[in-house]
Amino acid sequence: MLRSGVPVPFAERGGAMRGLLDVATGCYPAFLFGGSVGTQVPVFHFHDEPRDWLEPRLHYLADNGYRTITCDEIARFVIDGVSPGPRAVALTFDDAWAGVWSTAFPLLRQLGLRATVFAIPGRVNDADGRFVTWPQLRAMCASGVLDVQSHTRWHLMIFATATVAGFVTPTYVAESILNRPLISSTTAGTPRFLQPDALGAPLFLRRSRMSDARRFLPDGRAEDRCRDIVAKAGGAVFFARPDWRAVLTRAAAGATGTYESDDERAAVMRDELSRGREELNAGLGVDSVKHVALPWGIAGTLASRLIADTGHITAFAERPLRRRAVRAGDDRFRLMRLNGKFVTCLPGRARQWFFTTVR
């Protein structure tokens, strides 16, 4: 997310500085530094990982006798104190990228491991094949290898202020499509997102739909001015000019628009959570989708209340300055996860420590 020039709440910040602060304040569990796991359950998260990176980490778990558990087992542990037993860990894959089907699923099945995939039902039929398809998701769910849970309906990014934080340049195409902000009306059916061909369009400060931010809806005039300048200057070649940023900043000055109301914000957030569950259950022909991972780990005050109201039993979300492992009695709507690169820090043969792990 672009954050240039505008403070973002500490709970939504990531990056190297946040990581160092987590280390300094003891947020990382002791097993990353050679200690034991104890009674806590490490929950690791992955995204679209290449086979040569993922395979050795999954082999590490299998070779060292670790048992992989599902969200239902995590819920029983957190809420009822029912221990999943020794050497229990959880593996979670966010977004349901196509690689979950082509890479993660076969490896998990081969090694006798299980995992949870937090899928985005609105994206499952993505036409260019970036995400898994419904037949693939149903097959993984039916296999028992993948436990399918919700990652909200659309995994939305929104403009949150009238502050211009950047512009759509030729490098924007490399950004994850999940970082592209929503530009259509919240009541317009299938949402539309700002695409790389909108060269010159202002990028206002972006935040997760599940944050406490009210959505800013620019009126489009600043975008029209900026895109017109870029088009008349030859498109992508405009950004070779040393003064391109200054030119667009002047054109975008005084950008105006409106903010959604609190009622509109609550309605859209409720819809994202409730329909994320409903569409996955319907599409899979099950009733087992009742856990959610919040996009980017962000859950504002309102989102935290709506998670329970929309029928979810647990949720994974960031809790600043809290231990990145799951323990009995934890806040079940703010469970914490660890980057999957730390799998090899678990006790076992060929163990690594925190500072020797690599991406």
- For residue 58, the number of C-alpha atoms closer than 13 Å in the C-beta half-sphere is 25
Count the domains in the chain: 2
CA distance 7 to 94: 27
Cβ atoms of 129 and 98 within 8 Å: the answer is yes
CA distance 53 to 107: 12
Q: Are residues 143 and 238 in the same domain?
A: no
Give me the average pLDDT of each 10-residue run along the chain (359 residues). 49 61 75 94 97 98 98 98 96 97 98 98 86 96 97 97 96 96 82 97 96 95 98 98 98 95 96 97 98 96 95 91 88 95 96 81
Q: Are residues 135 and 273 in the same domain?
A: yes
Q: Are residues 148 and 278 in the same domain?
A: yes
CA distance 321 to 301: 17
Phi, psi of 196 (to 5 degrees): -60, -20
Q: Is 263 helix (H, G, I), strand (E, B) or coil?
A: helix
Q: Is 160 helix (H, G, I), strand (E, B) or coil?
A: strand
The domain of 113 spans: 10-152+265-356
Which structure tokens are listed for 284? 């899979």
Q: Are residues 249 and 294 in the same domain?
A: no
Nearby residues of 82 by Cβ (< 8 Å), 6 or more positions away:
76
DSSP one-letter code for 339: E
Q: Are residues 196 and 277 in the same domain?
A: no
> Could you say which of 200, 229, 255 is where a domain stops?
255
Strand ranges, E, within the chain: 43-46, 67-68, 88-95, 115-119, 146-150, 157-167, 202-208, 216-218, 257-259, 291-293, 314-316, 338-339
Q: In this predicted structure, what is the pLDDT of residue 319?
A: 76
Measured over the CA atoms of residue 105, residue 106, residue 107 and residue 109, the dihedral's sign is positive
- Domain annotation covers residue 214: no
Cβ atoms of 256 and 162 within 8 Å: the answer is yes
Q: In this predicted structure, what is the pLDDT of residue 357?
A: 80
